[in-house]
Chain A
Amino acid sequence: MYEILHRQDLAPVSKLLVVRAPVVARKARAGQFVIVRIDEGGERVPLTVADYDREQGTVTLVFQEVGKTTMQMGTLQPGNHFASLTGPLGLPSEIKAYGTVLCVGGGVGIAPIYPIARDLRAAGNTVISIIGARNKDLLFWEDKMRTVSDELIVCTDDGSYGRKALVTIPIKELLESGRHIDHIWAIGPAIMMKFCALTTQPFGVPTVVSLNSIMVDGTGMCGACRVEVGGQTRFVCVDGPEFDAHKVDWDQLLARQRIYPEQEKQAVERWMHKCACGR
């Protein structure tokens, strides 16, 4: 169970794993996530579903190596197994014929945006996509995004590839152009989603974000992932992960992502040391 069948380096610190999980693959939908654990002592981490194959019984996970667990995940090879993989969790994206939709993926957020854009296109929407990253090394899936988008804008913060711009710039330009956009999805680091929300708010276009709080169980039993949306406390794992971007308390979300910086640092140092010693 949970065998890794395929692994791909999308970029220096961005990896893709295809995992055997037939029961999860059967039900997984765009917008949902899974919780994985590498080994017995591992932590439970949420990863959005980047893709799935119901017939093959696999789910595709994309992640960036930002801490001990994702670094360790980056060393997994075909034939290795996750100790556990739970899902599909969260509510799926609400896919329907909105008209013209804008899908924005920032950094590792490109992965969950892909199946959403795909499903929106299949539902008859005109899909305009923007993918962006800090630099060329963090971009991936340009070709895949092109296949599910009517228009694709690619940018990097430093201009090392595509247009030199933060994703908020093309968003603003599109909205200012008078082009009719019915619904927007923006997924990426919390700070990126916050600024996308601020950018779209004056135009009054409904905007959906996928929140990436810290989680433990992912099934609504602990409340670690709670965030205020529209003044109400919500659990990202069961009420989300998608929420109305204009109602999210971004500052609270950002603060709640910074609960364990010392432990995260300690874990990374220990991991690096272990790698260096070869043990």
Chain B
Amino acid sequence: MPEPTRAVPQQDRMKIPRQAMPTQEAEARAHNFNEVALGYEELLAMLEANRCLQCKRPKCVEGCPVGVDIPAFIERLREGDLPGSVRSLKGENNLPAICGRVCPQETQCEIVCVMGKKYEPVAIGRLERYVADWDVAHPSPPPEMPPPSGKKVAVIGSGPAGLTCAGDLARYGHTVTIFESLHAPGGVLIYGIPEFRLPKHIVHAEVSYVRSLGVEIEMNAVIGKTHTLNELLQQEGYDAVFLGTGAGLPMFMHIPGENYNGVLSANEFLTRVNLMKAYLFPEWDTPVKVGRRVAVVGAGNVAMDASRCALRLGAEEVHIVYRRSASEVPARAEEVHHAEEEGIVFDFLTNPIEIYGDDKGWVRGMRCIRMSLGEPDASGRRRPLPMPGSEFDMNVDMVVMALGTQPNPLVFTDSGGLERTRHGTVVADEQTGRTTKDSVWAGGDIVTGAATVISAMGAGKRAAADIDRFLRGETVPQPAAQTAAAAG
């Protein structure tokens, strides 16, 4: 364990510069799937921990979607009390090793850090990762479990929302079964986010932990097919159900030529590469075909992941094609930065309008149009408008559509009473996760649309607490009000 450091006087703390994250060098890492960010060593972690001013009214806690007691975990770290730091961290965050890697700290905790006003914000995410990785390497024994409540809960989906909800419910004493449609648990953590950003052994460690609490995971169970919601509640004896199936339905542009060979959804591309480990073909059986000149349409985290995977799989040139400008890019800042360093080309204010193919059905090019930004639309972002006459052709042999995702409607088969919005998301109370269907809660992307791991995790926690109250008869199960959200 690290040596505790004497509390450095405040004015000296501010002189410590923000500690850079050791990173695999760009040229090398563009050809391997090893983790890019290597993690702090002890000295860097201690230096960074000393930068925290331990504010009396910590803004960072307010900025965190789940209110992690950030000053507390940093102080324990600085004191050399790693187990204590882990406890502070895991009080609110069940998945710190993951969040430390994938949270957009630059829009959550770090952006409001007081140190950021005059200097650089405390590298809260990097410290979280350091502490969480220590925890993974030194697993504590499973917590003492309360006596079984005799109640059964079905959790649908083993992504961040489901894993979190299941873990908390188990710790409350309930019997939990997670139903996962794929053959491996983790959801987007295992099929979406690449190894170089989130090593799978971290995900396996989180899943092992949840299993150690007595949670069963039934794989290859497609709710809506193998079982239905109503069957789980009415025939299989579950007292409550949590829906955490995420937003797995890929979006396409519906432009001409979108079905040529070599045009795929980012979901397909990433599932082949990450879940099915196509980068290990032929040792692993699932192939993936990557062109020499690749266009990835979109600029979210998924687009960054897809473009960087394409590069690692041998593409000579990879373009991000985005209809808005650099300042509107929704992806996590570090991913954009890493993508730029690796040589991904960013074509801003550009939108595809047609895809061309050859006589064998393979994509060979894409016609794009330049965009300009007009007045803000409903989302608050400036609306992109095509500039007539600016059409040009892009020579590509692979196109990946990373336009966003929506909830997969399969889960809604035989689930009468579950109100949805017109976007296909489930109506659920923000504080409790209750849906309009008796005994059914929901959280994560299935409610919010594609969002963050931490937001899903927080929803899983809140729902678990409410389900627990319900199962103990402490609350009357009032379904979520059919609010304006349902209407539109």
Contacts and interface: CB of A to CB of B under 8 A. Distances in A.
A216 B280 CA distance: 16
A86 B276 contact: no
Given A43-B276, A267-B285, 14 more contacts: A23-B226, A43-B285, A84-B183, A87-B222, A219-B408, A223-B264, A226-B259, A233-B252, A233-B254, A251-B361, A258-B261, A263-B282, A263-B289, A267-B282
Nearest to B277: A41
Given A224-B264, A255-B261, A89 B222 contact: yes
15 contacts: A23-B226, A44-B183, A69-B285, A86-B183, A89-B225, A217-B182, A219-B408, A223-B264, A223-B265, A223-B268, A224-B268, A226-B259, A256-B361, A258-B361, A263-B282
Interface of B: 181-183, 219-222, 225-227, 248-250, 252, 254, 258-262, 264-265, 267-268, 271-272, 276-277, 280-287, 289, 360-361, 408-410
A7 interface: no
Contacts of B272: 216
Interface in A208-248: 216-217, 219-224, 226-228, 233, 238
Given A23-B227, A86-B183, A217 B289 contact: no
B271 A259 contact: no
Contacts of B254: 233
Indicate the member of A37, A41, A85 with the most B CB atoms within 10 Å.
A41
Question: B-side binding surface: helix, strand, loop or mixed?
Answer: loop
A41 B259 contact: no
B220 A86 contact: yes
Contacts of A85: 220
Contact of B259 (A220, A227, A270): A227
B259 A84 contact: no
A68 B219 contact: no
B252 to A, nearest CB: 7
Contacts of A260: 287, 289
Given A222-B271, A223-B252, A252-B259, A216 B286 contact: yes
Interface of A: 23-24, 27, 37, 41-44, 68-69, 83-89, 216-217, 219-224, 226-228, 233, 238, 251-252, 255-256, 258-260, 263-264, 266-267, 270
Q: Which 9 A-B pairs have the closest CB atoms?
A: A255-B361, A263-B287, A222-B268, A84-B183, A221-B248, A86-B220, A43-B285, A41-B284, A223-B265
Contacts of B281: 263
A88 B226 contact: yes
A263 B283 CA distance: 12
Nearest to B224: A219
Contacts of B268: 216, 222-224
Contacts of A251: 361
Contacts of A83: 183
A222 B283 contact: no
A250 B78 CA distance: 66
Nearest to B286: A43
Contacts of B221: 23
B297 to A, nearest CB: 14
B246 to A, nearest CB: 9
A85 B219 CA distance: 9
Given A43-B286, A223-B250, A27 B226 contact: yes
Contacts of A69: 285
Contacts of A270: 282
Nearest to B246: A221
A221 B219 contact: no
B309 to A, nearest CB: 14
Given A84-B183, A86-B226, A223 B267 contact: yes
